[in-house]
Amino acid sequence: MPLPVEQVVVFRKGGKVLWSRGKAKDVVNSWIGSVLLEEKGGDLRATIESYTVEWRLANDVDSVLVLVYNKSMELDFGGELLERLRSAVRKQPRELDKSYDRIASDLEARPRRVAPAPAPARREEEEEGEGEEEDEEEAAAEVSVEEKLRRRGVGTKGGRRKKKEDEKPTKKQPKVWRDTIHKRTSAAQVAELDYSKKEEASDASMATTYLPADGERAAWEEDEEEKKSGSWLSSLMESAAGTATLTADRVEPIMAQLRERLVAKNVAAEIATEVCESVATTLAGKKLGRFERARGAVKDALAAAVERVLTPKRSTDVLREVLAAKERQKPYVIVFVGINGVGKSTTLSKVAYYLKSHGLDVGIAACDTFRSGAVEQLRSHAKCLGVDLFERGYLKDPAQVAKAAIDDAAKKKRDCVLVDTAGRMQNNDKLMRELAKLVTLNEPDLVLFVGEALVGNDGISQITLFNRALANFSPTKRQIDGLVLTKFDCIDDKVGAALSVTYATGQPIVFIGVGQKYTHLKKLSVTQVLNALFS
Amino acid sequence: MWWWGSLLLLLFVAVLVTAVAIFALRTPRRPAAVVLIGPCGAGKTLLFYRLTEDEHCDTVSSMQSNQGQVGDVALVDFPGHYRLRGGLKDELDRATKLVMLVDAAAMAAQAKPAAELLFQVLTAFQNAKRPPPVLLICNKTDKATAKTPQRVKLMLMNEIETLRKTAHALRSIDDDDDKQQPAQLGVEGRVFSFDQHSPCPITFLPISVKNDDLSPVRAFVQTGLVSTTPSS
Ligand SMILES: Nc1nc2c(ncn2[C@@H]2O[C@H](COP(=O)(O)OP(=O)(O)O)[C@@H](O)[C@H]2O)c(=O)[nH]1
Ligand SMILES: Nc1nc2c(ncn2[C@@H]2O[C@H](COP(=O)(O)OP(=O)(O)O)[C@@H](O)[C@H]2O)c(=O)[nH]1
Ligand SMILES: [Mg+2]
Ligand SMILES: [Mg+2]
């Protein structure tokens, strides 16, 4: 019986497919966009639409290995398959067809659902019987590096994010794919600890475990790197010779420092950890260029990754969208959501001012029917702006008020309707349900989440719970599709929230607020955020 | 101790030379190159491998650029994904010629991102002394739905006309942005036209990168001229 996989593909990071079996290119492409380019790569496994995607990177040969299979399958061998294939990519890149067939037939022969892992020692004996002994050993050694990075959480001090729920092995369906990794790690660990077994372990494995890789320097030297010019010079010589390779051990302390710096700039701790982990996986095994030093290379890679996360994945030109809607003769609807006091009504007024100043006919809908004074506040803004306000007083269903406002605007041939909503806490189910209803009923063109640039760790739970509530309570599963960060004028260089919110949602920051005046509305400058974070 | 002085001087010179050498070597200027740009899925990577290695390879979305040679000309395939747009400026700085691709069979989806990219490029070269020529490939003519170059040109022109009004309407707080106004593309109050207002000369070329002979593209990459000029 063939393996139940949709596609296995090996490709260069530049996009060239080196080898492939099966067909699921769209899944692979959307995985590249939503996981790799958003630095969510630390987990080695993701769900894309109705598929599970697992992957491994081979940074030394600039390649990526991806396995796609149906989500409903509980495959237990994904990691093993990819790791064995990875050794083949390194050794016999031209014979991948043969290698894959061999790996696949091994795996096919194995019973699909295996009981929990046998003892590590026994496991080793089993492996000796197999044909691909060497590859396996090598793969095992490598996993241990990757796992080491993951387990240590790239230097987090107790801030390690908890394992995702879906990764917990349940009793009924032992997810052996994870066990396999652990088994292998523990095999390597046992070898590391048990000196009496030294001779039994294969030479290759021993060498990878103990000997420094080409260009790798001992940890005691690493610590002194900053102070001692001697080691600085030697690392320079080494890099001049072009022999240096980044190993996980070398990346780790540097990354830990960079992570601290991100946290000091107000990036949420959890996000800083995830980004750093993901970048670390793209660095392990990579060769350094001439005159490139480990610290510089790690920092550059992280900065490039942060730049990718901050750079919008699509156009954020709202004015252009509204102009396009005007041509279609349908009012463009923007809903502003978020918790209390973050600046929703103020931002809405700024956007009204911005659009009006470009000759567009804007209407405002007062759908904060909850907080007393909200309608009056908006009325005075509307008056000040010279813009019409649609209101139905308090205690009305905001979804219906918004609908009436949009219908009214369509009748009056307005170009745009801005919908103000009541602030709500992300854990207030009743109010979140109400918001989901507003969004579902009115199908706005843009749902903007407004948050303060001052938020730290709590900002992430706000935004993810808003998204989850919208997904849970609305049948259309419509979510937030843009972000606003207000009070950017109050944070100096602590710009970390920009990274936290874009990473947590994958959505772009459409506007930032830099003061209380209507003109204090801007686009986010990615360059400026990068400078604040890294210089 | 007469030799102290000269030893110090020698040491000083040695340090200076090393410092300069390290500085020069650590920040290498990117060498000049012909740069391939365009939205995701336009066919850049396929074109890149056909030109550099004469190979028809299968592709997925590019995560980083590809570098190669066509004869003695360096060629760079710059990925189209929005999130990688931050690297564009460096590539434009070294571009001697630009080859831009669009999927002419998917203009409904490609017109906007392609126009944004082209707008960004043309704005960047607005005040340049020697703006690079652009070959605009309307790719995938093998598909029945492929639009004609005239049609592609019109669609891009319309989108650029909108972008002229909107793209700089909200100024970002870029440090260098605040001091100098971004260059304005085209002439205030006049409708944008490639032929009259583009700082870079643009030639439109309909072709199937998958099936066709690439000699017009090769000629452009090497000489900057296109033998057949079906530009309208
Ligand atoms: N400094 C500064 N204050 C802001 C900004 N945006 C909003 N505010 C202030 O934040 C407070 C709350 O704003 P409001 O719009 O009523 O918040 P809402 O409850 O989310 O609607 C007001 O005093 C605003 O003036 C900003 O970008 N910078
Ligand atoms: N039918 C057709 N498909 C093409 C042509 N050129 C490229 N493609 C396909 O378009 C897809 C995207 O190509 P790729 O080079 O990866 O685009 P890139 O994102 O611009 O690098 C691939 O599946 C190519 O095989 C063409 O001329 N005709
Ligand atoms: Mg309010
Ligand atoms: Mg590509």
Nearest Cα of chain A lies from the Cα of B104 at a distance, in angstroms, of: 20
Structure tokens at A290: 């001439």
Q: Could you identify the atom of ligand 2 that is nearest to the CA of residue B211?
A: 27
Q: How far is CA A217 from CA A205, A211, A230, A233, in A?
A: 19, 10, 13, 13
Between A380 and A200, where is the model more confident? A380
| Residue A25: predicted pLDDT | 85
What is the pLDDT confidence band of residue B110, given thresholds at 50, 70 and 90? very high
Per DSSP, the residues of A221-289 read HHHHTTT-HHHHHHHHHHHHHT--B--HHHHHHHHHHHHHHHHHTT--HHHHHHHHHHHHHHHTTPBPP
Res. A277: pLDDT tops 70: yes
Burial A28-38 (b: 16+ CB within 10 A, else e): bbebbbebbbb
Q: How far apart are CA A365 and CA A375, in angstroms?
A: 9
**Phi/psi zone of residue B196: left (φ > 0), alpha (ψ -120 to 50 degrees), beta?**
alpha
**What type of residue sits at position A164?**
K
Q: How far apart are CA A461 and CA A455, in angstroms?
A: 11
Residue ranges per structural domain of chain B: 31-223
- Answer yes or no: do B173 and A525 touch at CB < 8 A: yes
**What type of residue sits at position A203?**
D
For B83, the closest of A15, A313, A323 (CB atoms) is: A313
- Residue A366 phi/psi, 5-degree rounding, is -90, 90
Nearest Cα of chain B lies from the Cα of A29 at a distance, in angstroms, of: 6
Task: Indicate which residue's Cα is closest to atom 25 of ligand 2.
Answer: B58
Residue B81 contacts A, CB cutoff 8 Å: yes
pLDDT tens-digit series, residues A33-84: 888 888 888 888 899 889 999 999 998 899 999 999 998 888 888 999 999 9
Q: How far apart are CA A44 and CA A418, in angstroms?
A: 41
Which residue in chain A has the smallest CA separation from B58? A17
- Residue B75 phi/psi, 5-degree rounding, is -125, 135
| Residue A291: predicted pLDDT | 77
Cβ contact A417:A333 at 8 Å: yes
What is the pLDDT confidence band of residue A478, given thresholds at 50, 70 and 90? confident
pLDDT tens-digit series, residues A394-440: 878 999 999 999 999 999 999 999 999 999 888 888 899 999 999 99
| Residue A117: predicted pLDDT | 41
Residues of chain A with C-beta less than 8 angstroms from the C-beta of B116: 315
Cβ contact A382:A364 at 8 Å: yes
Select from A268, A301, A273 the least CA-distant residue to A495: A268
Specify the DSSP class assigned to residue A132. Answer: T
Cβ contact A239:A225 at 8 Å: no
- In B198-227, the residues whose Cβ lies within 8 Å of chain A are none
Residues of chain A with C-beta less than 8 angstroms from the C-beta of B177: 525
pLDDT tens-digit series, residues A111-157: 765 444 444 443 333 433 344 444 444 554 444 445 544 544 444 43
Question: What's A144-161 look like in SS3?
Answer: HHHHHHHHHHHHCCCCCC
Strand A45-48 to A51-58 pairing: antiparallel
Long-range contacts of residues B125-128, Cβ cutoff 8 Å, at least 24 apart: B125/B92, B125/B199, B125/B200, B126/B183, B126/B184, B126/B185, B126/B199, B127/B183, B127/B199, B128/B199
- Answer yes or no: do A312 and B169 touch at CB < 8 A: no
Q: How far apart are CA B117 and CA A494, in angstroms?
A: 31
Reported ipTM: the value is 0.84
Per DSSP, the residues of A466-497 read HHHHHHHH-TT-----EEEEE-GGG-TT--HH
Looking at the CA of A337, name the nearest ligand. 1
Task: Give the pocket of ligand 1 (CB within 6 Å).
Answer: A 338, 340-346, 423, 486-487, 489-490, 513-516, 520
Q: How far apart are CA B39 and CA B112, in angstroms?
A: 9
Res. A297: pLDDT tops 50: yes
Looking at the CA of A15, name the nearest ligand. 4
Which residue in chain B has the smallest CA separation from A512? B172
Between A20 and A242, where is the model more confident? A20
Residue B188 contacts A, CB cutoff 8 Å: no
> Which residues neighbour A342 within 8 Å (Cβ) at sequence distance 6 or greater?
A423, A450, A451, A452, A486
Q: Could you identify the atom of ligand 2 that is nearest to the CA of residue B48?
A: 15
Residue B116 contacts A, CB cutoff 8 Å: yes
Q: Would you say how long chain A is, in residues?
A: 535
**A and B: number of Cβ contacts within 8 A:** 124
Query: How far, in Å, is the centroid of ligand 2 from the Cα of A532?
Result: 39
> Which residues neighbour B176 within 8 Å (Cβ) at sequence distance 6 or greater?
none
The model carries a pTM of: 0.80
Between B21 and A420, where is the model more confident? A420
| Residue A475: predicted pLDDT | 85
- Residue ranges in B79-205 assigned as alpha helix (H): 88-94, 107-124, 149-166, 175-179, 194-197
Select from B64, B134, B58, B133 the least CA-distant residue to B102: B134
Between A534 and A133, where is the model more confident? A534
For residue A57, count CB atoms less than 10 angstroms from its CB and return exposed for 0-12, middle for 13-18, buried for 19 or more: buried
For A320, the closest of B84, B166, B172 (CB atoms) is: B166
Select from A62, A144, A146, A69 the least CA-distant residue to A107: A69
Where does A360-432 show beta strands of DSSP type E?
Answer: 362-367, 388-390, 416-421
| Residue A243: predicted pLDDT | 66
Residues of chain A with C-beta less than 8 angstroms from the C-beta of B27: none
Specify the DSSP element, H or E, that contains B203.
Answer: strand B202-206
For A358, the closest of B167, B169, B172 (CB atoms) is: B169
> Which residues neighbour A471 within 8 Å (Cβ) at sequence distance 6 or greater?
A477, A479
Q: How far apart are CA B35 and CA A302, in angstroms?
A: 25
In this prediction, residues B216-223 reach a mean pLDDT of 94
B31-223 to CATH, choices 3.30.470.10, 3.40.50.150, 3.30.1360.30, 3.40.50.300: 3.40.50.300
- Residue B229 phi/psi, 5-degree rounding, is -115, 85
Cβ contact A37:B81 at 8 Å: yes
**What type of residue sits at position A282?**
T
Average pLDDT score over chain A: 80
Q: How far apart are CA A296 and CA A288, in angstroms?
A: 10
At residue A506's C-alpha, the angle toward residues A51 and A311, to 5°, is 125
Query: How far, in Å, is the centroid of ligand 2 from the Cα of A34?
Result: 20
Per DSSP, the residues of B24-85 read HHHSPPPPPEEEEE-STTSSHHHHHHHHHH-----B---SS-EEEEETTEEEEE----GGGG
Q: Which of A317, A495, A510 to mutate to test the interface with B (most CBs of B within 10 A)?
A: A317
Query: How far, in Å, is the centroid of ligand 4 from the Cα of B117?
Result: 15
> Which residues neighbour A26 within 8 Å (Cβ) at sequence distance 6 or greater?
none
Task: Indicate which residue's Cα is closest to atom 12 of ligand 2.
Answer: B41
Which residue in chain A has the smallest CA separation from B89? A527
Cβ contact A39:A308 at 8 Å: yes
Query: How far, in Å, is the centroid of ligand 2 from the Cα of B211?
Result: 11
Query: How far, in Å, is the centroid of ligand 4 from the Cα of B36?
Result: 10
Residue B22 contacts A, CB cutoff 8 Å: yes
Strand B33-37 to B73-77 pairing: parallel
Task: Indicate which residue's Cα is closest to atom 1 of ligand 2.
Answer: B140
Query: How far, in Å, is the centroid of ligand 2 from the Cα of A29?
Result: 13
Per DSSP, the residues of A63-119 read EEEEEEEETT---S-HHHHHHHHHHHHHH-GGGHHHHHHHHHHHHHHS-SSPPSPPP
- Answer yes or no: do B170 and A525 touch at CB < 8 A: no
Residues of chain A with C-beta less than 8 angstroms from the C-beta of B86: 304, 307-308, 311, 526
- Answer yes or no: do A309 and B83 touch at CB < 8 A: yes
Q: Could you identify the atom of ligand 1 that is nearest to the CA of residue A520?
A: 27
